[in-house]
Structure 1
């Protein structure tokens, strides 16, 4: 077998990679209980930029679907899509800053 770009001969590690773009737009929308237009709006807002297949079709990762699900929850509560995307961006920035601070405290 020929190793893939991650060095794996069988590619099985892709199933464990939360950033691997395994889901088509239709499948992703079904999993979220959302429309494909909702997913396109997240792409337009810049929150989720799906990878593209060789044919130009959008492909989503599990990580991206988790973000989309968080947006969906906020939208279902009455928040505008753009505002929900901004909230999630800020939440992620806060979590990253907290992680870095914890690392620095542990090292110091």
Structure 2
């Protein structure tokens, strides 16, 4: 796979500028800055210091925007999303360990 194709496949590749990210998320640039302040994610920085966002970060931002639009405080929304993400990672690790355990002929 060519390098450029790999970048399109990588959900963590920082492909979107702040303006484009805000447009995709349906939020303001200030909203994206506040997500960074709340530690939901840290945008990548270009060589010139401009924020760049990945598809994964945009999905988190959309989730936060939806929660805020439904009346959840931004700080609470970010914390909930962080905890959901941590839970999903723990469940995935548990699944891997269970598979390893069943595959191990002890």
Q: Distance in 2 between matches of 1:30 and 1:44?
A: 20
Residue 72 of structure 1: CA displacement?
Answer: 0.8
Partner of 2:28: 35
Point out where structure 2 has 5 or more consecutive residues left out of the alignment: 102-106
Tell me, what secondary structure is at the counterpart of 2:52?
strand
Q: Distance in 1 between matches of 2:98 and 2:3?
A: 40
Give the CA RMSD over aligned residues.
1.3
Q: Distance in 1 between matches of 2:22 and 2:87?
A: 28
Q: Distance in 2 between matches of 1:79 and 1:71?
A: 9
Which of 1 and 2 has higher RCO (CA within 8 Å, sep 6+)? 2
Partner of 1:5: none
Residue 77 of structure 1: CA displacement?
Answer: 0.7
2:100 to 95, 99, 107: 107
Compare the two structures and name the one with the higher helix fraction: 2
Tell me, what secondary structure is at the counterpart of 1:34?
coil
1:21 matched to 2:14: yes
Partner of 2:42: 49
- Give the TM-score of the pair, scaled to structure 2: 0.90
Q: Which runs of 4+ in 1 moved over 6 A?
A: none
Q: Distance in 2 between matches of 1:10 and 1:20?
A: 12
The aligned length equals 101
Q: Distance in 2 between matches of 1:21 and 1:102?
A: 29
Partner of 2:104: none
Residue 75 of structure 1: CA displacement?
Answer: 0.5
